[in-house]
Amino acid sequence: MISVDDALRQIGSSLKPLPSVTVPVGEAAGRILAEAVRAKVTQPPTAVSAMDGYAVNMVAPMTAGTQIRVLGEAPAGRPYVGTLTGGAVRVFTGSAMPTGANHVIIQEHVERHGDTATLTHDQRAARNVRPAGGDFAEGDVLAPALRWLSPIDLSLLSAAGVVETSVYRRPRIALFANGDELVPPGKDLARGQVYESLSTGLLPLLDSWGAEACFLGIAADRESAVEAMFEAASDADIVVPIGGASVGDYDVAKAVGRKRFDLYVEKVAVKPGKPVWFGTKAEQAVLGFPGNPASAFVCAHLFLRPALQALSGGEPRLDLRTAILDAPLPPNGPREHFMRASVAEEAEGRLVCQPAARQDSSLLSTFAASNALLRRGPNEEARAAGDPVAVLLF
């Protein structure tokens, strides 16, 4: 059995980044940038008014009662072409500032009669102007390579005149379940049957991690049925069989996988998830999950998410944070343990971690009530309330 870190290293060194593809910015949310994006224009391109009002050149404080001649107007998109020469130009939020103007008197501070604006409030200092390039300048790096593009990133790139981006192709993941006892939800259960429940949760999880995931269905505990699933998964970058990973007489997924792939990981010293297995053949990888529900989800977080990072040019790693334990824990056993836990943020960003009372790897209800995995090292000594611990938030 190898450690979690060694398994991650093995996965990282076996997976090469997928090719990059060019996509319209509008379709790039959730994708990972293959190269940095620079601004094509400066934003704002010129100084603009931040308010509706009157643009003036203010050389000294102005007092209420001062009268100013209104020379013209500059609606947003139609700059004023003349010179100011002591007068004011009617402007609006987003209007280009007339040449020479440094201040916008908000319209609430003015009484307007014809071409004359009379100040109703003192103007102490020049303000209400957004400088050219205040957001970004042409050539600025707006998003570095490997950035996961959020929806707001797309607006940032659009504001900078960028219409296409180079992103990694989405990893294609094909899941299938393995077990004679599994039945799709909606059917009546016969004695000994349970609903196949893992695909419904894993598909959207993978989608949220930027993958294109599909579920091929349930394979019976027969080699031919599992073979058919692998055939149907020929397009996938990673095939993920769920279940049939252990040593039982009917655990056929791994037995078939061993014939089709070179296996580099056969078991990991982790709890839950020990029977997880990994291999490759040509351009395809297989990552077999144990069927116990918590084991499958822990393996998704510990191994599949980092595998997706590796396919997108990143380092496969776990984003562990530090939290404070809220109750004592007994010594850990020999396997690294990822306990289901609830983490809450307290004052000043301090994270407090409460491990779930029941940790059996069959329990979906415990997982659903948790938002983190609490990592305990192999043979780690007992922990006291208040001790710092490592957590993986999800």
Ligand X SMILES: Nc1nc2c(c(=O)[nH]1)N[C@H]1C(S)=C(S)[C@@H](COP(=O)(O)OP(=O)(O)OC[C@H]3O[C@@H](n4cnc5c(N)ncnc54)[C@H](O)[C@@H]3O)O[C@H]1N2
Do residues 387 and 278 lie in contact, with contact meaning Cβ atoms separated by under 8 Å?
A: no
Q: Mutual orientation of helices 223-232 and 252-260 as an angle, nearest 10°?
A: 50
Single residue of 295, 312, 332, 366 touching ligand MOO by CB under 6 A: 295
Q: Which is nearer to ligand MOO, 210 or 290 (CB)?
A: 290
DSSP letters for 226-245: HHHHHHHTTT-SEEEEES--
Task: Please give the structure tokens belonging to residue 360.
Answer: 């059996």
How many residues interact with ligand MOO (rule CB under 6 A)? 8
CB of 22 to ligand MOO, least distance (A): 41
What distance in Å separates the CA atoms of residue 16 and residue 2, rounded to the nearest whole number? 22
CB of 183 to ligand MOO, least distance (A): 22
Instruction: Read off the DSSP letter of residue 304.
Output: I
- What minimum distance in Å lies between the beta carbon of 226 and ligand MOO? 20
Interaction site with ligand X (CB under 6 A): 177, 179, 181-182, 194, 196-198, 242-248, 251, 272, 274-275, 290-293, 295, 361
Site string for ligand MOO, 336-375 (x = CB under 6 A): -------------------------x--------------
Q: What phi and psi, each to the nearest 5 degrees, are found at residue 257?
A: -60, -40
Question: Nearest residue to ligand X, using CB?
Answer: 291
- Number of residues assigned to the chain: 394
Contact present, 344 and 352 (Cβ < 8 Å): yes
Q: Is 207 left (phi over 0), alpha (psi -120 to 50) or beta?
A: alpha
Count of C-beta atoms within a 10 Å radius of residue 27 = 12
Q: Site mask, ligand MOO, residues 40-59, x = CB under 6 A? A: --------------------
Q: Which does 181 bind (CB under 5 to 8 A by kind): ligand MOO, ligand X, none?
A: ligand X
Nearer Cβ to ligand X, position 109 or 254?
Answer: 254
Binding residues among 261-280 for ligand MOO as defined by CB under 6 A: 271-274
Q: How far is the CB of 15 from ligand X (least distance, A)?
A: 22
CB nearer ligand X, residue 102 or residue 359: 359
Measured CA to CA, the distance from residue 144 to residue 316 in angstroms comes to 18
Which of ligand X, ligand MOO, none does residue 123 bind to, with CB < 5 to 8 Å depending on kind?
Answer: none
Q: Which does 243 bind (CB under 5 to 8 A by kind): ligand X, ligand MOO, none?
A: ligand X
- HSE-up of residue 40 (Cα within 13 Å, Cβ side): 9
Q: Which is nearer to ligand MOO, 20 or 199 (CB)?
A: 199
Is 290 near ligand MOO (CB under 6 A)? yes
Cβ–Cβ under 8 Å, residues 87 and 71? yes
**3-class DSSP state of 34:** coil
Task: Provide the binding-site residues for ligand MOO, judged by CB under 6 A.
Answer: 271-274, 290, 292, 295, 361
